[in-house]
Chain A
Amino acid sequence: MRFDLQVIASWIEPESKVLDLGCRTGSLLAYLTREKQIYGTGIEIDENAAGEAISKGLSVIHGDIYEEIEDYPDNAFDYVILSQALMQVLDPETLIREMLRVGKLGIVSFPNFTHYKNRFQMFFTGRAPMSKELPYEWHNSPNIRVIPIIDFRRFCRAMNVPIVKEVAISTHHHDEKGRVITFLPNLFATFGIFMLGQPE
């Protein structure tokens, strides 16, 4: 399992209720179900990925996260996870508020745009940066948001959403190994992972 998902998994209490938004083929849900006996459910828009997840025996709804999250009652879950999908979210504020309505805690992870390699690329080549974490050209990228870790913190402050926990890591996109970055994370971390609490 990807290193960022391992970090997220380590934050989840056993036997809790988990909603994984954009769960792909369900590797995190499968891990949490097996190792932590969680009650998990996922939402995935891609039929192949959703079908594969259901075929693994996971509970998954094939559909759009914005529409599907609306149907859950308040506080239906202990954790709502949005892993590496925030870059593609049209209205992050609405989605994060929905996450914190249906879940007690929200967990968000995203590639840190201001990683030093991106900065160097932009500075020295004058071109839009491409990296293993964000491997697209400007014209074919599904990622409509670029998110620096410090900007995400500011965004949470502006929404009055408390950051309960925060870890910055350095790992490549699909790597199973990585390390936690404590020194200048906005410069040296490839991913930021945040646990969000209820708005104040």
Chain B
Amino acid sequence: MSEYIDHDSTGQSIGLVTKHTFTFGESGQGISLDSGRSLGPVKLAYETCGTLNSDKSNAILICHALTGDSHMAGYYSEDDPKPGWWDIMVGPGKPLDTDKYFFICSNVIGGCMGSTGPVSTNPETDKPYGTAFPVVTIGDMVQCQRHLIDHLGIDKLLAVVGGSVGGMQVLEWSVRYPERVRAALPLATTTKHSAQAIAFNEVARQAIMADPKWNKGDYYESGRPEHGLAVARMVGHITYLSDESMRHKFDRRLQDRVELSFDFEADFQVESYLRYQGNKFVDRFDANSFLYLTKAADYFNLENTYGDGSLVAAFSRASCRYLVISFTSDWLYPTYQSKTMVKAMKKNGLNVSFCEIEAPWGHDAFLLPNDRLNGLLTGFLDRVTADCGIGGAQ
């Protein structure tokens, strides 16, 4: 997910929000992970907005993408320069309407924005985990979100929404805890990474690990592998755009010069843009976290985990209704991957809607203002709410 966090042109916002934390798995073995290892205590950073109704039936979980965090909407302070990452979607009167629903968004484990991850203190050594942190999966992330939902006293989520790696969490929720989800909205996502997606992630990880400062993950005292992380981000960023969007944004235009430099400075705007995005990312993200999160995305394989290799068998566990959305120019998670999941849902007689939205902006399209997307989310959620006889916020 890239840096499209922007102010909403309508000026509507949920306003000030607070980052909360919830800690569990403190005693005994902690929680058991898909790898067979255990982790504890586990801390989750999370944010909520809207009002939970009296029977706690209007809760919607929003799952963030790869390098996102729990800050979905609103501002942390009066002088906060930027709102949460999905401020255009979440707020009063918006498609994810805080006047009707109660939203929860937590930072995933393995992350570095307040939830337990490689940067957290290892209770056994009193030093940051680094690569001693266990490899986590999308399933582990969802298991931890379930602990948070339990903690909030919510029995059944009205919906789980998310794009990209957030969409993987949505799919995982719907088959791992089918009795706890009424509706699932996986956007611009897949049930498993293609070889191409794994390949890009591997190049990004190698960029980090090739930086001498990475030091096998033990760099928290010696200085961070900033260059490697910036390159990793640049690789990722390319996959979030599209040929058309890059041509539109940059073409071959030069940056701050009228002729070629004949050295290795950033001649082209696109080079300058990628360097800027890479450097900006370094300020907010941890290199080891990037390794763990990309690995979790690569490991995600819904059909193997839940269906012995059959996606139809995997979705036979599900019972919620689905709204699947893909975007025409998304080459990271192309439409054929969404169609594959829709096919498996149909074969199981599940209630599914699917739309491929025409958009030139590549994978990032789900984070950009889009009237079609707004209409689909609003109409779908209204119907789910009406069919379940659920009251709004009180």
Contact = CB atoms under 8 A, between A and B. Distances in A.
Contacts of B358: 47
A57 B354 CA distance: 12
A59 B357 contact: no
Contact of B352 (A50, A55, A61, A73): A61
B372 A51 contact: yes
Given A59-B321, A62-B355, A54 B376 contact: yes
Given A54-B323, A54-B353, A71-B347, A61 B342 contact: yes
Contacts of B26: none
B356 A55 contact: no
6 contacts: A47-B358, A56-B379, A59-B351, A59-B352, A63-B356, A72-B347
Contact of A71 (B321, B323, B343, B376): B343
Contact of A54 (B343, B347, B379): B379
Most buried by B among A41, A47, A60, A62: A62
A150 interface: no
Interface in A39-61: 39, 41, 47, 50-52, 54-61
Given A51-B372, A54-B353, A63-B356, 14 more contacts: A41-B351, A50-B355, A51-B355, A51-B376, A54-B375, A56-B379, A57-B379, A57-B383, A57-B386, A58-B383, A60-B354, A61-B346, A63-B339, A71-B342
B347 A73 contact: yes
B354 A71 contact: no
B382 interface: yes
A126 to B, nearest CB: 43
B382 to A, nearest CB: 6
B356 A47 contact: yes
A76 interface: yes
User: Which 8 residue pairs are nearest across A and B when measured between Cβ atoms?
Assistant: A57-B383, A55-B379, A55-B375, A71-B346, A62-B355, A71-B343, A61-B354, A54-B353
Contacts of A71: 342-343, 346-347
A164 B375 CA distance: 39
Interface of B: 321, 323, 339, 342-343, 346-347, 349, 351-358, 372, 375-376, 378-380, 382-383, 386
A172 to B, nearest CB: 30
A51 B57 CA distance: 27
A53 B317 CA distance: 28
Tier of interface size on chain A: 20 to 34
Contacts of B380: 54-55, 57
Name the prevailing secondary structure of the A interface residues: mixed
B375 A51 contact: yes
Given A71-B347, A73-B347, A61 B379 contact: no
Contacts, number: 63
Interface of A: 39, 41, 47, 50-52, 54-63, 68, 71-73, 76
A101 B222 CA distance: 67
A88 B380 CA distance: 30
Contacts of A47: 355-358, 372
B316 to A, nearest CB: 12
A72 B349 CA distance: 8
Contacts of B353: 54, 58-61
A62 to B, nearest CB: 4
B95 to A, nearest CB: 10
Nearest to B374: A55
A39 B383 CA distance: 13
A142 to B, nearest CB: 20
Contacts of B375: 51-52, 54-55
A72 B351 CA distance: 12
B354 A63 contact: yes
Nearest to A44: B355
A55 B342 CA distance: 18
A163 B284 CA distance: 68
A138 to B, nearest CB: 30
B352 to A, nearest CB: 7
B105 to A, nearest CB: 24
A52 B380 CA distance: 11
Contacts of B378: 55
Contacts of A51: 355, 357, 372, 375-376
